[in-house]
Amino acid sequence: MAALVAVSAPAAAQTEFHFQFGELLNPFSAQEEESFVLTLQQATQWKYGDSFFFIDYLDDRGRDGFNERDFYGEWYPTLSLGKMTGKAVGGGPLVDVGFIAGLNAAGDAKVVKYLPGLRLAWKAPGFIFLNTDLMLYLDGSSGVGAGGAPRTDDSYCFDVNWLYLFDVGEQSFQITGHAEYIGAVTNEFGVEYGGTILAQPQFRWDAGKAFGGDAGKLFAGIEYQYWSNKLGTDQDESAVQLLLAWQL
């Protein structure tokens, strides 16, 4: 998953294009393949909440039926209780409560997941945003009969997402991303998939600013991906990817 971004205007959109390259694990063959991911993502704020989506295009050098010109996307529209009521919500470090209606969809695997839930927004020094999301993880997939991955029963998802900014001398940096835990499920054949952790922190350097351009437009860095029990297997992934990001 690509990292979340912040939008500060009352009604505004922020769009990014990402290129990532590294060796990613095919958990079904236990082989690592050089892979690239192209991502379009957008964060939007409006009168009563916000919205975040991304679409990944994935390809690798292996021709094994995995990550071959595939698509994957997620969308998280959120209603803000504070914005809807026009009143302060929470207290102390808690600054807002939101209601999420998430959607995850994978192309070749024909997987669809619905994620209704609750968001708590927190105030912390240096963070542009810091959210904790607790969502149901409801399966709406087509299943093996339609040529896709096996259907599963329902579960839950807990996610933490953030954007942290800091400077070192004249250089500007960001640490952004998310980490999630999805509870164990059982597929349509009675096979249990253990709970999974997916963490995707990005470390980004404002390269555009460093070379005399506009700040906040062109970033270079890395994304570290840790994925336990990847895609319902017993394989764990630990991968570092080159990251280039262009913000419109």
Whether pLDDT at 23 is above 90:
yes
Q: What is the pLDDT of residues 69-81, one digit of tens each?
A: 899 999 999 999 9
Q: What is the pLDDT of residues 160-208, one digit of tens each?
A: 999 999 999 999 999 999 999 999 999 999 999 999 999 999 999 999 9
Strand 171-182 to 185-186 pairing: unpaired
Domains of the chain (ranges, CATH numbers)? 12-247 (2.40.230.20)
Q: What is the pLDDT of residue 69?
A: 82
Q: What is the pLDDT of residues 29-68, one digit of tens each?
A: 888 899 999 999 999 999 999 999 999 999 988 777 777 7
At residue 85, the 3 state secondary structure works out as helix
Indicate the pTM of the whole model.
0.91
Residue that has been written with the tokens 């262009």 in this structure: 246
Q: What is the pLDDT of residue 203?
A: 98
Whether pLDDT at 1 is above 60:
no
Distance of alpha carbon 63 from alpha carbon 34, whole angstroms? 12
Distance of alpha carbon 241 from alpha carbon 200, whole angstroms? 10
Whether pLDDT at 2 is above 80:
no
